[in-house]
């Protein structure tokens, strides 16, 4: 039986988040593999910040809100750069893959990673990252995806976000407008039907097909 595809929208934006809970990097195109999206040297959610005092627990924007303003990017395979409002950018060297891994605690599931640095990186007058926290990079390639919560690719649609804001407005939450970026999506689609994505069994963008869960 031949596959039948129906056009449901237009690809609007693509984001990659090299640092989990960090600032997204808008890109014009990306490669797709089992880990998620990749653009040049930047892989989605490949890096995390962890609390080395509390069982190497992964730090996320749910609790550490300042993380969403921290930008991590790689210009080549050996170095990374951290940027944050009000501080000088920091460039560091990535450890070798033979470095001793540690187990990071991401929502009580344990994944191996490699320590990047110990020194303080002050993000503001009240430092977000102190000597008790460190940055790690995933080292074991069999772990899929990297540090995403559960799925390698996240997708949102414009009409679903618009509908949400209409509901909030009708509930007299007139000052609350939810931007689609708050969902930290990888792929944002312009479409016409709210929550139409709940009924999709497969998604194809160009030659790449996805299977939603």
Examine the domain organization and report whether 75 and 171 are in the same domain. Answer: no
Domain containing residue 157: 10-14+152-212
Same domain, 37 and 133: yes
Q: What is the pLDDT of residue 137?
A: 56
Rounded to whole angstroms, the Cα distance separating 161 from 149 reads 21
User: What is the rounded distance in angstroms from the CA atom of residue 73 to the CA atom of residue 19?
Assistant: 8
The predicted pLDDT at position 159 comes to 97
Per-residue pLDDT band for 117 (boundaries 50, 70, 90) equals: low
Confidence band (pLDDT; 50, 70, 90) for 86?
confident
In angstroms, the CA 14 to CA 85 distance is 23
Specify whether the CB–CB gap between 47 and 92 falls below 8 A. Answer: no
Average pLDDT rounded to a whole number, residues 55-76: 83
Asked if 52 and 61 touch (Cβ cutoff 8 Å), the reply is: no
Look at residue 126 in the predicted model and tell me its pLDDT: 38
Same domain, 93 and 167: no
Q: Do 39 and 126 sit in the same domain of this protein?
A: yes
Higher pLDDT, 138 or 176: 176
pLDDT-derived band at 190, boundaries 50, 70, 90: very high
Burial 173-188 (b: 16+ CB within 10 A, else e): eeeeeeebbeebbbbb
- The residue written with tokens 């893959």 in the block is 97
| Rounded mean pLDDT, 205-210 | 79
Q: Are residues 103 and 187 in the same domain?
A: no
Given 109, 137, 165, which residue is the final one in a domain?
Answer: 137
What pLDDT is stored for residue 129 in this prediction?
47
Are residues 67 and 157 both part of a single domain?
A: no
Predicted confidence (pLDDT) per residue in 120-157, tens digit: 444 443 344 443 455 555 545 565 677 777 788 899 99
Q: Are residues 55 and 100 in the same domain?
A: yes
Does residue 158 sit in the same domain as residue 100? no
Of 104, 137, 170, the last residue of a domain is: 137
Residue (of 56, 150, 45, 53) closest to 101 by Cα position: 56
Greater confidence, 148 or 16?
Answer: 16
Of the candidates 158, 110, 166, 163, which has an alpha carbon nearest to the alpha carbon of residue 138? 110
- For the chain, the domain total comes to 2
Instruction: Report how far apart, in Å, the C-alpha atoms of 57 and of each of 54, 62, 109, 137, 175 are.
Output: 6, 13, 10, 14, 34
- Which pLDDT value is given to residue 1? 41
Q: What is the pTM of this model?
A: 0.82
184-190 average pLDDT score: 95
For 152-170, what is the mean pLDDT? Answer: 92
5: in domain? no
């Amino acid at each position: 039986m031949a596959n039948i595809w129906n056009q449901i929208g237009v690809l609007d934006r693509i984001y990659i988040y090299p640092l989990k809970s960090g600032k997204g990097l808008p890109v014009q195109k990306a490669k797709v593999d089992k880990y998620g999206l990749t653009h040049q040297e930047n892989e989605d959610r490949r890096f995390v910040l962890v609390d080395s005092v509390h069982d190497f627990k992964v730090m996320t924007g749910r609790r550490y809100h300042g993380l969403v303003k921290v930008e991590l990017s790689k210009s080549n395979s050996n170095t990374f750069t951290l940027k944050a409002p009000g501080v000088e950018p920091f460039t560091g060297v990535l450890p070798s893959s033979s470095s001793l891994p540690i187990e990071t605690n991401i929502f009580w599931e344990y994944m191996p990673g490699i320590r990047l640095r110990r020194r303080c990186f002050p993000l503001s007058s009240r430092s977000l990252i102190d000597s008790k926290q460190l940055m790690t990079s995933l080292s074991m390639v069999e772990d899929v995806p990297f540090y995403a919560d559960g799925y390698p690719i996240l997708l949102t649609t414009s009409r679903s976000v618009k509908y949400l804001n209409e509901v909030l407005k009708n509930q007299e939450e007139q000052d609350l407008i939810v931007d689609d970026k708050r969902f930290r999506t990888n792929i944002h689609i312009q479409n016409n039907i709210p929550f139409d994505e709940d009924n999709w069994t497969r998604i194809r963008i160009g030659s790449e097909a996805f299977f939603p869960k």
